[in-house]
A and B are shown apart, each in its own frame.
Chain A
Amino acid sequence: MPTIKLLEHNGTAHELQLENGQNILHAALEEFVPGLDGDCGGAGACGTCHILVAPEWLDKLSPPDANEQGMLQMRPDRQDNSRLCCQINASDALDGFTAFLPQFQM
């Protein structure tokens, strides 16, 4: 049961306990974590689940596919550690995973 931590832009932390394989966006929406929208329902098609992954976790993730890269490129506030969290599923290897939520979703 991996635990992940999402920090809102104002510093409020949310710790979520996920099942192995559970999608991070869906889990966050179920817990009403503010700052994520997921307007396309998690299909990597809207860019409104943008997160900034804590540096130490970035290369523990499988790299973004071409689709996700295309969407991330459109985010004016993208950083090197930007990801769309609808494309990330929890696993034991991600126990303690931490990410920051941007100030706005667009």
Chain B
Amino acid sequence: MATTVTAVANSEAYSVPLDQIDMSQPEHYRTWAYHEYFKRLRQEDPIHYCKESPVGPFWSITKMADIIAIDSDNQTYSSAPFSLIGDLPEGENLNNFIFMDPPEHTKQRLAVQPVVAPQNLAQLEGLIRQRVCTILDGLPVGETFDMVERVSIELTTQMLATLFDFPFEERSKLTYWSDIALDVPGIGSEDITPEKRWEGLMECLQEFSRIWHERKSKPPAYDLISLLQNNEDTKNMIEDPETFLGNILLLIVGGNDTTRNSISGGVVALNQFPSEYQKLRDNPKLISNMVSEVIRWQTPLLHHRRRVTRDVEFGGKQFKKGDKVVLWWASANRDEDAFKQDPFTFLVDRSQARQHASFGFGIHRCMGNRLAELQLRVLWEEIMKRFRHIEVVGPFERTSNNHVNGYLNLPVRVHPW
């Protein structure tokens, strides 16, 4: 699968002069070429400076150990005001805790975290399984369909609606708002005008403000809005609309295309490595470990970025105050020095499967990580009960985006036992 694409990518990644490599180019990700580019950077220039790009100059950090060190030092490497490689449009402020440093970060995150506390997740498992079963039992047999639309997007959206206690029949709005939230210059394909995007975000704010007011008169519950309302540090968040919208969007985005693309990515990986699929059929107890391996292999978010707060020497290079430092999770997840077993192979029984970079490190480490693992585990448990094979039956398109690593479509057929 995609062998011709890789052959082209190989020669390109090694023939271009080192200082011309620009990992902000969305096209590198659409074609899978990024794997070869990062391999070259890890070997030849692991802390690589890109002098000129559509998002300005930036440093690429490509080794796992370096990424862990930088991500652990949030004083030198700040996440404010924005932690993606690009910059927010002029005048825009998305106040949410992923774009904050301590102490504001800590207060807000702690208030919101209970929504994904393991005790809460244990209660959600039954509902997740119910939803998964309904979706899988509704899939056509003997007919090609789009896995992305019928399973990946559908399951993820239903999950989001549950976490927010959002009107179930309107859940597709959550997907829409999430998709447009980060559709800003320098990240990827901008399918939407800035005006339409802003209109959508304002609609999101209005809808959640309405839910906030409605929820105020109800007894405390475990949905996100209730949790915000019943916490001392966030009970008045509605009075700061930029922060309110920012945090809503953070949680929608966080749980949206990441989980979606891990679902699709798992199917792609198992089809690319059929002997691994057979291992899974022979031993479904490997599902839990496989879920971590899927998240590593897919790396649903390719990077996050930090802003250097003081002149500092790192790994023999000189970072200047204000520099952008890009943590390429996707590169760390193929770092030959970080994994004893070949990182380019998808291995359902990998011994270090949990030690990937996809959830990040440090105080910003993904809050929803156990929820993601739970959804994927339950999904694959139910898939393996029903289908011997989910077969990819045709070419598929990947996202052209330097942040979100995903699939626009995935034609499959299911084969029951």
The chain A residue with its CB closest to the CB of B65 is A43
- CB of A20 within 8 A of chain B? no
The chain B residue with its CB closest to the CB of A76 is B113
Interchain CB contact under 8 A, A43 and B72 = yes
Complexed CA–CA distance, A38 and B355 (Å) = 8
Within 8 A of A (CB), among B267-306: none
- A46-89 vs B, CB cutoff 8 Å, 1 = contact: the mask equals 11000000000000000000010011011010000000000000
Complexed CA–CA distance, A104 and B119 (Å) = 8
Show 8 A/B contacts (Cβ-Cβ < 8 Å), sorted by A.
A43-B361, A44-B72, A70-B102, A71-B362, A73-B363, A74-B109, A74-B113, A106-B117
Interchain CB contact under 8 A, B118 and A74 = no
Q: Shortest 4 CB-CB distances between A and B: which pairs?
A: A104-B118, A45-B361, A39-B354, A41-B355
Interchain CB contact under 8 A, B118 and A40 = no
CB within 8 Å for A103 and B363 given contacts A44-B72, A67-B72: no
Complexed CA–CA distance, A46 and B67 (Å) = 13
Report B's interface with A, CB cutoff 8 A.
68, 71-74, 102, 106, 109-110, 113-114, 117-119, 338, 352, 354-355, 359, 361-363, 365, 369-370
Interchain CB contact under 8 A, B68 and A103 = no
Chain B residues near A76 (CB, 8 Å)?
110, 113-114, 117
Interchain CB contact under 8 A, B365 and A70 = no
Chain B residues near A38 (CB, 8 Å)?
354-355
Chain A residues near B359 (CB, 8 Å)?
39, 46
Which of B106, B118, B354, B361 is the one whose CB lies under 8 Å from A103? B118
Complexed CA–CA distance, A103 and B121 (Å) = 13
CB distance from B257 to the nearest CB of A (A): 22
Complexed CA–CA distance, A10 and B73 (Å) = 35
Chain B residues near A46 (CB, 8 Å)?
359, 361, 365
Complexed CA–CA distance, A71 and B113 (Å) = 14
CB distance from A33 to the nearest CB of B (A): 15
Chain B residues near A39 (CB, 8 Å)?
354-355, 359
- New contact pairs (19) apart from A67-B73, A76-B117, CB-CB < 8 Å: A38-B354, A38-B355, A39-B359, A41-B338, A41-B352, A43-B72, A43-B361, A67-B72, A70-B362, A70-B363, A71-B362, A74-B109, A74-B110, A74-B363, A103-B119, A104-B118, A104-B119, A104-B370, A106-B118
